[in-house]
Amino acid sequence: MAITRDEVEKVSLLARLLLKEPELEQMTGQLGAVLEYIALLDEVDTANVEPMAHPLDVVDAFRDDEVQPSLDRERALANAPNRDDECYRVPAVLGVT
């Protein structure tokens, strides 16, 4: 299954990446090659095979509903690339520039 440059561009938006030439062209080629290799799986008959999302067949790991101390705000915000005294700051979520 080949992937087109257009599809790669669309996926890059979905993945919130920005690919410019020549990266876009290179990515298209490399993803295409990997997908071609992956098509190998088409030859496996998986009818009636249960998917296996996880190696463990364990269930039910819970914690009790107890409040644990939170991070001090200063420590929580310490790694923020942009912040004020109380909050993280990001470009406007409303889409204004």
Catalog residues that contact another protein under the rule CB under 8 A: 1, 3, 7-8, 10-19, 27, 30-31, 33-35, 37-38, 40-41, 44, 46, 49-56, 58-71, 73, 75-82, 84, 86-97
The per-residue b/e assignment along 18-45, b for 16 or more CB within 10 angstroms, e otherwise, is ebeeeeeeebbeeebeeeeeeeeeeeee
Question: Omega of the bond prior to 22 within 30 degrees of 0, cis?
Answer: yes
Instruction: State the minimum distance, in angstroms, from the CB of residue 33 to another protein.
Output: 5
Instruction: State the minimum distance, in angstroms, from the CB of residue 21 to another protein.
Output: 13
In the complex with another protein, which residue's Cβ is closer, 21 or 81? 81
Instruction: State the minimum distance, in angstroms, from the CB of residue 77 to another protein.
Output: 6
Q: Is-contact 3 27, C-beta < 8 A?
A: no
Instruction: State the minimum distance, in angstroms, from the CB of residue 32 to another protein.
Output: 11
In the complex with another protein, which residue's Cβ is closer, 21 or 93? 93
Residue among 42, 11, 39, 43 nearest 24 (CA): 11
